[in-house]
Amino acid sequence: MGIEALEEGRAWKFGDNISTDLIVPGKYFHLRSNLPELAKHVLEGATLEESRKKFVEVVSRGDYIVAGRNFGMGSSREHAPIIIKLSGVGAVLARSFARIFFRNAINIGLPAIECDTSQIGPLDKLSINLRNGYVENKTKNEKVPFKPLPDIMRKILEDGGLVSYVTKNHGLVLPGV
């Protein structure tokens, strides 16, 4: 049931405490009703370990954000995961997430994977198995385990987010209930 795996993509490394202010720079607040334009500035204020270029200049569809602890800390801006998804990112992997960011990410259909990211290097080629709970680092031929997402979260992701899931199922249908 639900989404099984995510395609191969490159790892773009960030550090700890990446706040929603770094994800959605406040100076672009006026673009909040134009999400595609706002997405052109995603993570503009954050330091990207493997490049001097801006994140949006190097990210490709299906690539992964890989970060340390407390990703998405700060305000509850739902714009943060939305513009990450609009930029083409396949998932965010971090050692830990701010809870509101984590829920917002799942709700808009962006996988948020909590795992040990310390051995994932910049530009490593990754794929993710959501059902079995591991990140496959194809560059290093290693697997990084994580607690698999519950079926309901995988189904929400598969449907493209909570609104699509509720619309498709005519309400919130919990597996096994």
List, in order of start, the domains of the chain with CATH numbers: 5-149 (3.20.19.10)
Q: pLDDT band at residue 175, thresholds of 50, 70 and 90?
A: low
Average pLDDT value over all residues in the chain: 91
The reported pTM is 0.92
Residue 176 confidence (pLDDT): 65
Q: What is the pLDDT of residues 151-161, one digit of tens each?
A: 899 999 999 99
Locus of tokens 């993570």? 43
Between 71 and 54, the more confident residue is: 71
User: Do the Cβ atoms of 14 and 47 come closer than 8 Å?
Assistant: yes
